[in-house]
Amino acid sequence: MCPIRDIVARISDKWSVLAIYGLGGYGKLRFNELKHKIGDISQRMLTVTLRNLEADGLITRTIYPQVPPRVEYELTELGHSLMQQLQLFAEWATKNGPEIIYYREKANKVIKDRIA
Amino acid sequence: MCPIRDIVARISDKWSVLAIYGLGGYGKLRFNELKHKIGDISQRMLTVTLRNLEADGLITRTIYPQVPPRVEYELTELGHSLMQQLQLFAEWATKNGPEIIYYREKANKVIKDRIA
DNA sequence: CAGTATCCTCGTTGATACTG
DNA sequence: CAGTATCAACGAGGATACTG
């Protein structure tokens, strides 16, 4: 319905963000290189995520007809634009994250106290 | 592990964003007022979402000891700060959303063509 | 190497019913 | 009014095995 809600849904996906960050920070990457940068992503989810990002015009997928296969992923201009937005948000999170964590732990403590 | 990832996870939640937007746009709101603004959220999910946001110090929850009960929710300063970040992102989405939608539909078309 | 195909689990969500 | 409690369903996501 709402277009913004639609975009946010795709963007807010954990794996999408990590993939974009990976490509944004290192430029062109092969499948397993990116997988290694992200670390704890399954092969399946990386494939799905990359296909979605490609369908949205955020990354390009270049296949080199070799054996063994070589596929490289890279942010498009649109992808870089999004990356910059994410970067802005990351700065906010870095600055305000500790305060949120502080409140969150304080709330947890209350719960623990109730149990005890 | 990563604190940013942690914050993003909470922020990227669909209902959290909509609740923050509701409170950001209308100021102080009662439970059912907010529920109505959001529209398609279940009572349960609104309760859960608001509790989480409260625990993170993003909103305040004020109970007025009356019958029937009256509870008001409002963004904290931290919540407003986050709201501004979301606003920035919304602007980006408004500007670039159509392009993403365009690519996405084009990709869907290809898939449909393959099936046909 | 870069996937695809399958299965299976686990968490999130929604519906429903009840309450201070 | 503003919840809480419970349950059931659904789908995202992980593990594994196979392939061009």
Model pLDDT for residues A47-70, shown as the tens digit of each residue: 999 999 999 999 999 999 999 999
Q: What is the pTM of this model?
A: 0.88
- For residue B35, the tally of other CB atoms under 10 A from its CB is 20
pLDDT in tens, B31-78: 999 999 999 999 999 999 999 999 999 999 999 999 999 999 999 999
pLDDT value of residue B71: 98
Taking a C-beta distance cutoff of 8 angstroms, is the pair A16, A56 a contact?
A: no
pLDDT value of residue B112: 53
Q: In the structure encoding, which two tokens stand for residue A46, read together?
A: 């990386």
Taking a C-beta distance cutoff of 8 angstroms, is the pair A91, A84 a contact?
A: no
Mean pLDDT of A33-52: 96
pLDDT value of residue A67: 94
Q: What is the rounded CA–CA span in Å between residue B19 and residue B42?
A: 12
What is the overall mean pLDDT for chain B? 90
pLDDT value of residue A7: 79
B33 touches strand D (CB under 7 A): yes
pLDDT value of residue A59: 98
Taking a C-beta distance cutoff of 8 angstroms, is the pair A96, B78 a contact?
A: yes
Q: What is the rounded CA–CA span in Å between residue A113 and residue A96?
A: 26
CA atom of A23 to C1′ atom of C11, Å: 29
Nearest nucleotide to the CA of A46, by C1', is: C3
pLDDT value of residue A12: 76
Q: What is the rounded CA–CA span in Å between residue B77 and residue B58?
A: 8
Which residues of chain A between 27 and 56 are close to nucleic strand C, CB under 7 A?
Answer: 30-33, 43-44, 47, 50-51
Q: In the structure encoding, which two tokens stand for residue A57, read together?
A: 């015009």
Taking a C-beta distance cutoff of 8 angstroms, is the pair B35, B15 a contact?
A: no
Spatial CA neighbour of A95 closest among B13, B52, B85, B93 = B85
| Alpha helices per DSSP H over chain B | 3-11, 14-26, 31-38, 43-55, 77-115
pLDDT value of residue A115: 52
pLDDT value of residue A68: 94
Residue in A6, A81, A88 nearest the CB of B88: A88
Residue of B nearest to A107 (CA): B55
Which domains occur in chain A, in start order? 3-91 (1.10.10.10)
B99 and A78 in contact by Cβ < 8 A?
Answer: yes
Nearest nucleotide to the CA of A72, by C1', is: C2
* Size of chain A, expressed as the number of residues it contains: 116
Q: Which residue has the higher pLDDT, B51 or A89?
A: B51
Determine the distance in angstroms separating the CA of A25 from the nearest CA of chain B, rounded to an integer.
16
pLDDT value of residue B10: 74
pLDDT value of residue A1: 53
pLDDT in tens, A6-32: 777 777 788 999 999 999 999 999 999
- Reported as a pLDDT band with limits 50, 70 and 90, residue B19 is very high
The CA distances from residue B43 to B32, B54, B65, B91, in Å, are 9, 16, 21, 29
